[in-house]
Amino acid sequence: MTEAGSSAVRDEIVSFPDEDLILVNDQDEEIGHLDKLKCHLGSGILHRAFSLFVFNQQGELLLQQRSSDKPLWPLYWSNTCCSHPRRGESVDYAVNRRLQQELGLSSKAEFLYKFKYQAQYDQTGAEHELCWVYLGRCDAEPVANTTEVQAWRFVDPAQLSAELSQHPERFTPWFKMEWQELNSTHADKLKQYTRNLRSL
């Protein structure tokens, strides 16, 4: 595991409770806008989001541990980058913006699928999202934004599956759902990214 504190880091506020997110219906049709704080109160209000999985040339997945300052699932491990398009943004644009803001990286992200879920953190807050899932590649070393990322590491897919089985409580709920879906419905596509290209 590579800790954010032992490598290049920066400290920049890139998330704001009053930023407008995109409200959607079950068909992912835009129906309005609401600030991020209100979108996550109680059981949450359905809004558009994304999850990005970035793999290196060895086929390892870049994981991040969420900052201790996160109101929902602080210090949980999750996939490379998860966030929301803001009002007026496309999801593709938001994926690239957020990857740069959180980890100082860029990647040509490939859209794979989307799904709806609701996950309750506690009585005060939850995630309720229509989430677009992307895959990408990048071999650069992350420059973690410590306001968002506590730590990061590259992990072998087989090791990750074992960790998820042995210690599911350490990981965010959406990540567990997505990893299961990637390994079942989208297994052929996942294999393209988890191959060790350096051994070819």
Q: Which residues are catalytic?
A: 82, 129
Spatial CA neighbour of 71 closest among 35, 11, 17, 9: 17
Centre a 10 Å sphere on the Cβ of residue 130 and count the other Cβ atoms it contains.
21
Taking the C-alpha atoms of residue 27 and residue 72, their distance in angstroms, rounded to an integer, is 26
If residue 117 lies in a helix (H) or strand (E), which one and from where to where? strand 110-122
Q: b/e per residue, 20-50, with b = 16+ CB within 10 A?
A: bbbbbeeeeeeeeeeebeebbeeebbbbbbb
